[in-house]
Amino acid sequence: MSTVIQVDNISKMYRLGEVGTGALAHDVNRWWHKIRGKEDPYLKIGETNDRTAKGSSDYVWALKDINFNVQQGEVLGIIGRNGAGKSTLLKILSKTTTPTTGTIKIKGRIASLLEVGTGFHPELSGRDNIFLNGAILGMSKNEIRSKFDEIVDFAGVERYIDTPVKRYSSGMYVRLAFGVAAHLEPEILIVDEVLAVGDADFQKKALGKMKEVSHQSGRTVLFVSHNMEAIQNLCKRSILMAQGSIVEDGTTASIINSYLLKSDGAISNFEASTGVFDLNHNESKVYDRDYGLLAARLYVNGVSSIHFYSGASCSVEIDFAVPNAVSDLVIGLVIKDKFNKPIMAVNNKHYAKKLFTQPVSKGTFQINFQQLPVYGQGRYHCDLYLGTQEYDYDIIYNAFYFDLNSSDPLLSGYLLDDQLNQFYFDTITFSEK
């Protein structure tokens, strides 16, 4: 196989709060250094792109020293937390923006699906946009016509093909855009997280098409997704990005494992001796660290433990504090599997209504599972939400985890194929401790 994408020392710097490169004085300074054969002085300025910390510089490196190669016919997964630099990298590879430093060598035509509406003219019909995109890729009208019916059938928009795409729903938009990108035979297909907009059937069909494109046609695919199951099914090799850099490149299984461990702020904040997850210093805490979700404790049959089993009587205690006393607090819990895929979500708005008889500013919630409705051995991570109908006080991703041991031999609780037994939901309660 030959190398179709070669990325050497790519970096991208942005100036915060400004459109363009900056003030006139900066541009003059750049020009003065350039005519003297010197390096751009502002390349030496800039902080790591850490979205969780307030910096002192007006410049940030969205990407820093990116190096990798992609072979013909390879499907490369690109994963990382929000703000890691994934989308910026794809925009550079798609030539919709330029790198600040570094070089890229690409062999072949590129079709990109980076966000809803990419490459479409909203005033043109679906039909016209298919021909427009084909022309951009350098295809003749006859080549486009030969693929036209296949694209329309794949997208399922035949009835609306002569309607301006500005009237399409986001799902229709994405289906047609993906159909165009996948069927007009580019040598390289770049797909960002936009598939999440489509329904389950379309996502399954799109993933199948990407497999076909790579395995049968020998074309190259770069795929960015937060769906670890899709990444694992589609990609043999993946790269992990964090704060604008590639931190690991290897087999998809090892990269997913590293990603889940690195993104799990709860692991480093668990005190085994006390059984407490310190939520106040969790890396994924979104809001003010002085308020919101503060600590979590897990119990099985009334005993402190992170080792759950299906059908067990389990509970989670969560300490909280908010700036002002309120009576309509809502606590939400999402349980995710080893692929970071949500499999279950509950909140007291639907299960307990109001928890408190009078306004409170701090206290402890308790979420009780009389029979834990989760089945399948392994580690499960949980996201937490705290707020009211008017205000979000806190959100923490991977707030804590539990290990599901050997399954309950009587299978008294289960969750299979995303089908939930309503009986077990009836056993979930929220209470004030």
Query: In this structure, what CATH number is given to the domain that contains residue 250?
Result: 3.40.50.300
Domain-embedded: residue 124: yes
Are residues 307 and 402 both part of a single domain?
yes
- Total domains present in the chain: 2
How many H-runs (helices) and E-runs (strands) does the chain carry? 10, 24
For residue 117, the SS3 value is coil
* DSSP β-ladder status, 3-15 and 101-106: antiparallel
- Let me know whether 222 and 365 are in one domain: no
Structural tokens at position 413: 């609780």
Q: Which two tokens stand for residue 18?
A: 């400004």
- List the CATH number of the domain containing 409: 2.70.50.60
Residue 36 domain flag: no
Strand 392-404 with 378-387, pairing: antiparallel
Are 250 and 303 within one domain?
A: no
Between CA 321 and CA 342, with CA 266 as vertex, the angle to 5 degrees is 95
Given 261, 278, 294, the domain boundary residue is 261
Residues whose CB falls within 8 Å of the CB of residue 23, separated by 6 or more in sequence, listed in order: none
* Cα 131 from Cα 270, distance rounded (Å): 56
Per-residue model confidence (pLDDT) at position 263: 62
Same domain, residue pair 69 and 190 = yes
Give pLDDT tens digits along the chain (433 positions).
Answer: 689 999 999 999 887 655 455 556 666 666 666 777 776 665 555 555 554 444 455 678 889 999 999 999 999 999 988 888 998 999 999 888 889 899 999 998 888 877 655 668 889 999 999 998 888 777 788 988 998 999 999 888 899 999 998 898 878 888 888 888 788 778 898 888 766 666 777 777 888 888 887 887 788 999 998 878 788 888 999 999 988 999 999 999 888 878 876 665 666 688 877 889 999 888 788 877 678 999 999 998 888 988 888 878 899 999 999 988 988 888 999 999 888 888 889 888 877 666 777 888 999 989 999 888 887 888 899 999 999 878 889 999 899 999 887 554 444 444 444 444 444 455 677 777 7
CB 71 within 8 A of CB 236: no
Maximum separation of any 2 CA atoms in the chain, in Å: 78
pLDDT attached to residue 217: 79
Q: Give the domain-ending residue among 215, 234, 261.
A: 261
- For residue 409, the model assigns a pLDDT of 42
- Say if residue 74 is in the same domain as residue 188: yes
Residue 173, pLDDT score: 84
C-alpha R_g of the chain = 25
Is the domain of 242 the same as that of 271? Answer: no
Is 41 inside any structural domain?
A: no
Return the pLDDT at 421: 42
| Residue 42 in domain | no
Asked whether residue 115 is assigned to any structural domain, the reply reads yes
Q: At what angle do helices 141-155 and 126-136 cross, to 10 degrees?
A: 130
C-beta of residue 136 within 8 angstroms of C-beta of residue 121: no
CA-wise closest residue to 210 among 104, 134, 113: 113
Half-sphere exposure of 24 (CA within 13 A, CB side): 0
Each residue of 69-79: b (16+ CB within 10 Å) or e?
ebebbbbbbbb
Whether residue 139 is found in the same domain as residue 215: yes
Task: Identify the pLDDT of residue 413.
Answer: 42
Question: Which tokens go with 137?
Answer: 């890729």
What length does the chain have? 433
pLDDT given at position 41: 62
Closest CA to 331 of 307, 313, 315: 315
Q: Whole domain around residue 159: which residue ranges?
A: 3-12+65-261
Q: In this structure, is residue 374 part of a structural domain?
A: yes
Could you tell me where the DSSP H helices lie in 9-77? 24-35
Helix ranges (H only) for 21-124 are 24-35, 86-93
pLDDT (0 to 100) of residue 411: 43
Q: Are 280 and 307 part of one and the same domain?
A: yes
Q: Is residue 299 part of a domain?
A: yes
- Answer whether residue 107 is part of any domain: yes
Q: How many CB atoms lie within 10 A of CB 357?
A: 8
Alpha-carbon dihedral angle through residues 61, 63, 67, 71, given to the nearest 10 degrees: -170
165 in the same domain as 240: yes
User: What's the CA gap between 238 and 224, in Å, rounded?
Assistant: 10
Instruction: Please check whether residues 345 and 389 belong to one and the same domain.
Output: yes
Domain boundary among 261, 295, 317: 261
Q: Are residues 244 and 302 both part of a single domain? A: no
Q: What is the pLDDT of residue 74?
A: 93
Q: Note the pTM of the prediction, 2 decimals.
A: 0.64
Q: Are 249 and 369 part of one and the same domain? A: no
* CA distances in angstroms from 419 to 201, 313, 364, listed in the order given: 17, 20, 31
